Amino acid sequence: MMRNISIKNLALIEDISVVFHEGFSVFTGETGAGKSLLIGAIGLLLGDRASSEMVRRGADEAEITGVFELDDPRAGLHEILDENGIGLEGDQLIIRRRITIAAKNRIFLNQIPITLATLKRIGDVLIDFHSQHEHQSLLQPESAFAIIDALPHVAHYRAEYDRAYHSYVEAGSALREHGKRAAQLRERKDLLDFQYKEISALNPRPSEEQELEEELKLLSSRAERMQYAAGISALFNSHSSSLSDALAQVRRQLEGWAKYDGSVANWLNDVDNAAALFNELESFCARYAADDEQPDPNRIESINSRLARIQRLKKKYQCDIEGLVEKRRALEQDLAALENDEADLKELRKRVEACEKKCRNAGAQLTRQRTTAANAFDGAISGHMERLGFAGGRWQTSFTPLQSPAQHGMEMIAFMVQTNPGEPFLPLAKTASGGEISRLMLATKSVLAGHDHIPTVIFDEIDAGIGGVVAGEVAQALLDLSASHQVISISHLHQLATVAHHHYHVYKETSGNRTVTHVKELSDAQKVDEIARMLGGTTNIARRHAKSLLNSER
C-alpha cells in the first residue's frame, strides 16, 4: 500500500507530506484548490512524463517522494527489482523523483537510479489509477486477458497454454532459422566445397607449425650445434684432471668440517652430484660431436614447403593453424547439414505440427474455461452496473476466435458494454466517458476483489455526473472494496466523504503575492465542517445535517 507522499515545489505546492492509511480515504476541496496537483504528483510516481514547467516559480527543482509498504510483493515486482539490481529496504519501496528547471530529471528507487520505463512498470504493479484521462487500465487491450484469466479456475489453464505456446513458438523459430541457414548454405555451397577441399588437402594439425619450426631449426643449425658440443668437450679434455682434483679436495675438507657441524653434510651430496653431472655432460658432448649424420636436404625442403602452404592459408583465412583446424571442422558440419537438409527439415516440421496441435488443444481448454468464467463475471458486473448508475446497463465479454495460436490464447477478448436498454453493445472505449469508465472499473474491482493483487486503487472523478442514490451506491462499493484494497478517491460528493475511513481536505492560501496548496487530514470535528461545506453551506443546519450523516455511517 502507499504509506506516504512528500511533495516539494510542484506548481502551487510548496512543501506537503501526506500519510496514507489502510481502508478508504477521500480527498475533498474547492474546485481549483489543488486536488489535481496531488493526483498529478502520484502520477509522476507511477511514470507519467514530467515537464520543467511543473517546478514552482522561484525554485530550481521539484521533488516527489513516495513510500510504499509491501506485505506480499507480487512476483512481477520481484522480477523488475531483480533486473535492476534493487533490494527492498525491509518491506518498503521508496520512489523519489526530481524535476529541474533545466529539464535534468532523475528517478531513484531505494536510492538506485532507474529509467522512466522501469518506473512505469513498477507503477503498474503498485497502483491501479483511474482518472478521466490517464491510467485507464480497463481500456488497455491486455487488460481483458488479465481480468478474465484472474477469474477462478482459469489461471491453471492459462499456465498450460503459455507453456504449450512457448514450445510452439520455439519450434517455429527453429524451423525458420533452419530454412534461413539452409538457404544461405545453398547459395555458398560451391565456395564451401572449395574451401573444405583446400584445407583438407593441407590436413593441418594443432601445434603442427611449431613442431615443424623446431625441427627445421635443428636441421639448419648442425654446424653451430657441433661447434658448441666440441668446444665443451675440449674444455673437459684440457681441465679434466684439475676439475677432478679440485672436487676431491673440496670433498675431503667438507668431510672434516661435517664432523663438527652436521648442517655441512648436505654439501657433500651436492659435490657428488656435481661430479656426476660433469661426467654425464662430458659423455653427452662427446657423443653429440661424434655424430656425423648430415641433415637430409629433402626434409628441409619439405618442411619449408609445408610451412609456406600453412602460411598462405593462414593469411587467406586470417587465422592461426588452430583456426584452420576449426575452419575445416565448421565447413564439414555445414556440408553435412546441406546433405541432411531434407531430413532435418522434415523433423522440424513434424515438431512444429506436434507443438501446434498441443497448443491448439490447450487453447481450446482455455477458451472453454474462459467462457464459463466470463459468463458468471458478466452477470456479476451487470449487477454492479445497475447499482452504480447504469440503469438497465449490461456487460458482455466478447470472444473473437483466431485462426492461429497467439500469445494470449486462441481468441481476442474485448469488453463490450450496453449503457442503456435497447442500445447495442459497443466496445468499452467507444461508449463510456471517463467517469463512467472509473465506475465500471470499480465494478470489476469489486467482483475481482479476492483475486486482484494490485494493492492500491485510486479513483479520480468517479462521481462525475452522478448524485443521490447512485452516489450512495458508489460510496458503498468503494467502502466494500476497501476491505481488500487501499482505496483513495478524489470527490465532490458528501456521500463518499461520509463513509470514508479517512478524510483529507485540500485547500489553498495566499500569503503576500504567492498562493500555496495545503493538504491536511481532518479530525472528526473538522469532518463535520467540511461535509457541511459540501452540502452547500456552513450554517448550523448544514453542520447538524453533516453530523447526522457521519453518525449514521458509524
Q: Is the pLDDT at 539 greater than 50, yes or no?
A: yes
Find the DSSP H helices in 398-539: 428-431, 434-447, 468-481, 494-499, 524-535
Q: Cell numbers for 323, please give them.
A: 583456426
Residue 76 CA to its chain's centroid (Å): 10
Lowest mean pLDDT among 51-60, 66-75, 93-102, 340-349: 66-75
pLDDT in tens, 501-524: 999 999 988 877 888 999 999 998
**Contacts (Cβ under 8 Å, ≥6 apart) of 368:** none
| Residues 528, 494: Cα–Cα separation, whole Å | 11
Q: Is the pLDDT at 548 greater than 90, yes or no?
A: no
Q: Kindly state whether residue 119 falls inside one of the protein's structural domains.
A: no
Q: Which carries the bigger pLDDT value, residue 189 or residue 136?
A: 189
* pLDDT value for 23: 93
* pLDDT value for 492: 85
* pLDDT value for 356: 95
What are the residues facing 414 on neighbouring strands? 398
Q: Kindly state whether residue 223 falls inside one of the protein's structural domains.
A: no
Upper half-sphere CA count for residue 453 (Cβ side, 13 Å):
14
**DSSP structure class, residue 55:** B
Find the DSSP H helices in 153-221: 155-187, 189-202, 208-220
Q: Cell numbers for 485, please give them.
A: 484494497
Q: Kindly state whether residue 373 falls inside one of the protein's structural domains.
A: no
Lowest mean pLDDT among 221-235, 357-371, 459-473, 502-516: 459-473
Q: Kindly state whether residue 542 falls inside one of the protein's structural domains.
A: yes
Overall domain count for the chain = 1
* pLDDT value for 221: 85
pLDDT confidence tier of residue 326, bands split at 50, 70 and 90: very high
Among the ranges 46-60, 152-166, 387-401, which has the highest mean pLDDT value?
A: 152-166
* pLDDT value for 132: 56
Is 465 in a helix, a strand, or coil? coil
With pLDDT > 70 as the criterion, what percentage of the chain qualifies? 93
Lowest mean pLDDT among 74-83, 183-192, 311-320: 74-83
Q: Which carries the bigger pLDDT value, residue 124 or residue 400?
A: 400
Quickly tell me which residue has 674444455 as its cell: 235
pLDDT confidence tier of residue 162, bands split at 50, 70 and 90: very high
Q: Kindly state whether residue 543 falls inside one of the protein's structural domains.
A: yes
H helix or E strand, kind and range, residue 289: helix 265-290
Q: Kindly state whether residue 486 falls inside one of the protein's structural domains.
A: no
pLDDT in tens, 453-477: 778 888 887 777 677 778 888 888 8
pLDDT in tens, 90-132: 678 889 999 988 867 888 888 888 888 888 888 888 887 776 5
Q: Three-state SS string across 10-79, please?
A: ECCEEEEEEECCCCEEEEECCCCCCHHHHHHHHHHHCCCCCCHHHECCCCCEEEEEEEEECCCCCHHHHH
DSSP per-residue letters across 442-458: HHHHHHTTTT----EEE
With pLDDT > 90 as the criterion, what percentage of the chain qualifies? 25
Q: Which carries the bigger pLDDT value, residue 551 or residue 67?
A: 67
E-only strand ranges, 315-434: 394-406, 409-418, 426-427
Is 93 in a helix, a strand, or coil? strand
Is 526 in a helix, a strand, or coil? helix
pTM: 0.62
| Residues 554, 543: Cα–Cα separation, whole Å | 17
* pLDDT value for 264: 82
Query: What residues make up the domain containing 551?
Result: 529-554
Q: Is the pLDDT at 171 greater than 80, yes or no?
A: yes
* pLDDT value for 240: 65
Angle between helices 341-387 and 321-339 (to 10 degrees): 80
Q: Is the pLDDT at 479 greater than 70, yes or no?
A: yes
Q: Kindly state whether residue 214 falls inside one of the protein's structural domains.
A: no
Average pLDDT, whole number, for the chain?
85
* pLDDT value for 138: 63
| Residues 211, 551: Cα–Cα separation, whole Å | 100
| Residues 405, 540: Cα–Cα separation, whole Å | 67
pLDDT confidence tier of residue 409, bands split at 50, 70 and 90: very high
Residue 30 CA to its chain's centroid (Å): 43
* pLDDT value for 374: 94
* pLDDT value for 134: 46
Cβ-contact 496, 25 below 8 angstroms? no
* pLDDT value for 553: 60
Q: Kindly state whether residue 272 falls inside one of the protein's structural domains.
A: no
Q: Is the pLDDT at 18 greater than 80, yes or no?
A: yes
| Residues 373, 369: Cα–Cα separation, whole Å | 6
Q: Is the pLDDT at 135 greater than 50, yes or no?
A: no
pLDDT in tens, 245-284: 788 888 888 888 888 778 888 888 888 888 888 888 888 8
